[in-house]
A and B are shown apart, each in its own frame.
Chain A
Amino acid sequence: MLYVTFIDPSENEIEANFEPGDSLLQAAVHAGVDGILAECGGGCSCATCHVILSSAWAGTLEPPGPQEADMLTFAVDPTPQSRLACQVQLKTEHNGLTLNVAKRQY
């Protein structure tokens, strides 16, 4: 089974299973990860599904597209490793990826 690990705002580590093609948001929602609001349900229109890629995995995802990048400037304290979980499509090679859920979504 493929999985990614989320570290929620209270520092709990949650392993979330995924199928290739799932978004990070879908994986997080299925695993019941805390701290992701996703107010627009994955529409790249709210910036409340903000996650931060752990440094060990930096550069392993395709960079955000222009819409996502624009939305990310409105996330709370974005970093170069910030992503919107709803915009990241998972592939087999992302097995084991680790992400921090942003401490706050707004």
Chain B
Amino acid sequence: MILGIVGAGQAACTLILELIRGNFRGQVLIFNGEAIPPYQRPPLSKDWLQNPSRDRLNLLPKIIEQDSRITWISRTVTSIDPGRGTIRTRDTAHTVDHIILATGTRAKKLEIPGLSAQQNVSLRTLNDAENLRLNLAQASTINIVGAGFLAFELAASLSKFGITVRILAKGPRALPQVGLDTAEYLSSRSDALIMTETRLIKFDRKAQSLLSNQGPISCDLVITAIGSEPNIELAEASGLATTSGIPVDVNMQTNHPRVSAIGEVAEYHHTLIGKKLRIESIAQANETACILATHLLEQQSVRHKIPWFWSNQGSEKLQIAGFSERSDDSFLLMDKPHQRVVLRHKDGRVTAVEAINAAREYMAARRLFESNEKSISLNTVQQAGSIFSLLQSSSS
């Protein structure tokens, strides 16, 4: 089974980790749209600004990253075709058995008239965080638009740089994700000045201040932290069902059997809550990835095998691959001193291989029987002269 994972964030990496731990026997193509190896996002708004080491953020141990089952493709996926199992980038196309969308979300942007892109930043990626750090040297006052967790975390980190921070909330209170008590407590503990009911009108470049319904608010830099939007465009364009995310069933499958979605982008029925949810958290990323990994590993555990048998008779070791009826014909393929290989066959197909002291022929037959071709033509083996060389030529 070849899996194609779109996105190399938290959910994708947990999926890979679980698959490798679970002895996954297929191959994985993983498309990383960012130019750096997978990293953890949570530290970026917390202590990372003080202690900006990239290594500390690594999501995957080297040994997993370099596993031979995984192929990293450093490209953004431009389209998927669920029917054909195709994943396209700007200049490449790949065919897989199953597509996994782990595209996450992106920061919502807020246009503020008069404010240049350099002065209006957001924080989602390591690249964003590194940019923000470069900007800090020139900043003495920063306004954070939005009053959620990200805003509060950033305010706490930025204050450590001696920067004056304001949190501008559009609504009547900060931290609407938590109860009023909790929000009030955290607001009282924050180093930032919190302004509620604040509507921004524009940025006055000369005065370097934001004009708002509450009057001018001076600042060197604006950080927008007003939430995120799910990256569902690939799903939409390929005709998959979408809502505020990508709806999936209990096994993380979308409405197309060849496509699953995990992480923040997936909207799934949370059994313990009893509702369809799309939660933006590490916990959701990891849980959805683990559910999918279990499902994929269960599918592979049903490994169909052909019958095989062996018998040691003194110095003669007989090994049989396949299943023949008594009436099947025999063809002596190899007859060397102490080594014999007999093909049992019917209607031009090999039904079983009887190998005496010829383990390679026996194992090659097992592999060929279990490969996609499933049946071996008598003619081709006769021409190849040995099953092992037939296997080698068919796998090269």
Contacts and interface: CB of A to CB of B under 8 A. Distances in A.
Interface of A: 9-10, 40, 43-47, 66-67, 70-71, 73-74, 77, 104, 106
Nearest to B68: A77
B84 interface: no
Contacts of B358: 70
B319 interface: yes
A10 B364 CA distance: 30
B308 A45 contact: yes
Interface in B277-312: 308, 310, 312
Nearest to B321: A45
A46 B309 CA distance: 10
A44 B100 CA distance: 39
Interface of B: 21, 23, 25, 68, 308, 310, 312, 317, 319, 357-360, 362-364, 367
Nearest to B357: A67
A13 B319 CA distance: 34
7 contacts: A44-B310, A45-B319, A67-B317, A67-B359, A73-B360, A73-B363, A106-B25
Given A67-B317, A67-B359, A74 B367 contact: yes
A43 B359 CA distance: 11
A106 B23 CA distance: 9
Contacts of A67: 317, 357, 359
Nearest to B366: A74
B341 to A, nearest CB: 12
B359 A71 contact: yes
Nearest to A73: B360
B23 A104 contact: yes
Contacts of A10: 21
Nearest to A74: B363
Contacts of B25: 104, 106
Contacts of A74: 360, 363-364, 367
Nearest to B311: A43
Contacts of B312: 43
Nearest to B370: A106
In the A-B complex, the 4 residue pairs with the closest CB atoms: A70-B359, A45-B310, A70-B360, A74-B363
Interface centre among B312, B357, B360 (most CB of A within 10 A): B360
A40 B359 contact: no
Contacts of A106: 25
Nearest to A75: B363
Nearest to A105: B23
Contacts of B310: 40, 43-45
B17 to A, nearest CB: 12
Contacts of A104: 23, 25
Nearest to A67: B359
Contacts of B23: 9, 104
A35 to B, nearest CB: 9
Nearest to A11: B63
Contacts of B364: 74
Interface centre among A40, A74, A77 (most CB of B within 10 A): A74
Given A45-B359, A77-B68, 9 more contacts: A10-B21, A40-B310, A43-B312, A44-B310, A67-B357, A67-B359, A73-B363, A74-B364, A74-B367
B183 to A, nearest CB: 44
Contact of A47 (B21, B317, B357, B363): B363
A66 B25 CA distance: 28
A104 B360 CA distance: 20
